[in-house]
Amino acid sequence: MTDNYRQLSFMRLDVGEVNFLVDPKSGFNDSTLYETLQHYCDPAYLQEHALDVRFCGGRGQTMLFTLGPKDIGALYGPVRDFALEAAKSEQPLQTTFPLCLRFYRRGGLIGKVLKEGFWRWSKTAQRARAEFELTSQLYAEGFPVPRPLLAREGFNHCFVTNALVMEQLPHTQNLAEILEQRALTPEEIILVAHTLARFFKAGVYHSDLNIRNILFTEDSSACYLIDFDKCSRGKLSQGLVTQMLSRLERSFTKEQELKEYEEARLNVPAIMTLVRAQVAASVKHLPQDKWQQVRTLISAVQAKLSALRAQGPWHKK
């Protein structure tokens, strides 16, 4: 157990070794049954017991659903009488809990044969654990990310299957959804830049920074970053920040080409110029990566040689 999660492990004859990572504030403990935890990762069970079930994302890998107080169990802490707690605290009764179940599925040619299994000795096999650990850490530190509640990893012979349950962010829209209605305001663009800068300064590398992974609340007062699959936290270089912002720019450009937005609706160069300026002002003194240093050195040498040639006796005035 860590400060951000605890692990509950099971050995099952039917499925093999299964680990569940749960929020430390949940009511799950060593006496919790496997079936109790498995229900939150079982699409068939959720389709029968949950409300507002729908699938989205590539390869149908994300399931959105809502549970009521009777079905939420100990996911948010020891089993409680929500009506009694609401009456005591004089707060509105929470009657719905919007959640998200993500499956980790393979793409490409191999995905046609092996959809969910990842080679268990691969460094990236335990993707649910990695995303749960990173997102739990960020959430605990107050970063604008969804709250992760439960992760599942199953080991079967040579492969690992992964699943992750987290809260939905209600009353939010991603940038692509906002652009379908209107242009982004300068204030929203600056808030995006400041949000990204906060993650960058904390050493967070986001492997898929695109307009569908950046969300705003309805009143545009808060900006969130989602989808931390294959992301990491460490020492960022200037090259990695440039790479992430270039990926964000490509997603804007792709959306513009797909939807054929006019410049008044989506001016990609203007947006990215503002984002880059704001990020540069906030994120300073990042080291350059190895090859960036080499390129910088070569450019400096070339500039020096050009200056010497211009000043030499062979230079024709």
Q: Which amino acid is at 110?
A: I
Q: Say whether 71 is catalytic.
A: no
Token pair 């939807």: residue: 259
State what percent of residues in the chain have pLDDT above 70. Answer: 87
Token pair 């040639």: residue: 309
Q: Which amino acid is at 312?
A: G
pLDDT recorded at residue 306: 66
Pairwise CA distance, residues 178 & 33, whole Å: 43
Question: Best-predicted range by mean pLDDT among 113-127, 150-164, 260-274, 279-293?
Answer: 260-274
- Cβ(105)–Cβ(59) below 8 Å: yes
pLDDT recorded at residue 95: 87
Task: List % helix, strand, coil for the chain (3-state, nearest 5).
Answer: 40, 20, 40
Question: Encoding tokens for residue 306?
Answer: 């050009």
Helix (H) / strand (E) element for 173: namely strand 172-174
pLDDT recorded at residue 141: 96
* pTM (2 d.p.): 0.86
Segment 173-183 mean pLDDT: 97
Other CB atoms within a 10 A radius of the CB of residue 268 amount to 19
Phi-psi region of 161 (alpha: psi -120 to 50; beta: other; left: phi over 0): beta
Segment 113-121 mean pLDDT: 72
**Angle, in degrees to the nearest 10, between helices 238-259 and 186-201:** 150
Other CB atoms within a 10 A radius of the CB of residue 189 amount to 19
Q: Does position 281 have pLDDT exceeding 80, yes or no?
A: yes
Mean pLDDT of the chain: 89
Q: Which residues contact 271 (CB under 8 A, 6 or more apart)?
A: 184, 189, 252
At 221 the three-state DSSP class reads coil
pLDDT recorded at residue 112: 47
Helix (H) / strand (E) element for 103: namely strand 97-103
Least confident of 69-78, 172-181, 205-214, 287-296: 287-296
Q: What is the biggest distance separating any 2 CA atoms in the chain, rounded to whole angstroms?
A: 92
Domains of the chain: 6-167 (no CATH), 172-283 (1.10.510.10)
pLDDT recorded at residue 317: 46
**Angle, in degrees to the nearest 10, between helices 268-282 and 186-201:** 40
Backbone torsions φ then ψ of 131, nearest 5 degrees: -70, -40
Say if strands 172-174 and 214-217 run parallel, antiparallel, or are unpaired.
antiparallel
Q: Which of 30, 42, 71, 208 is catalytic?
A: 208
At 39 the three-state DSSP class reads helix
Burial of 156 (0-12, 13-18, 19+ CB in 10 A): middle
Q: Does position 263 have pLDDT exceeding 50, yes or no?
A: yes
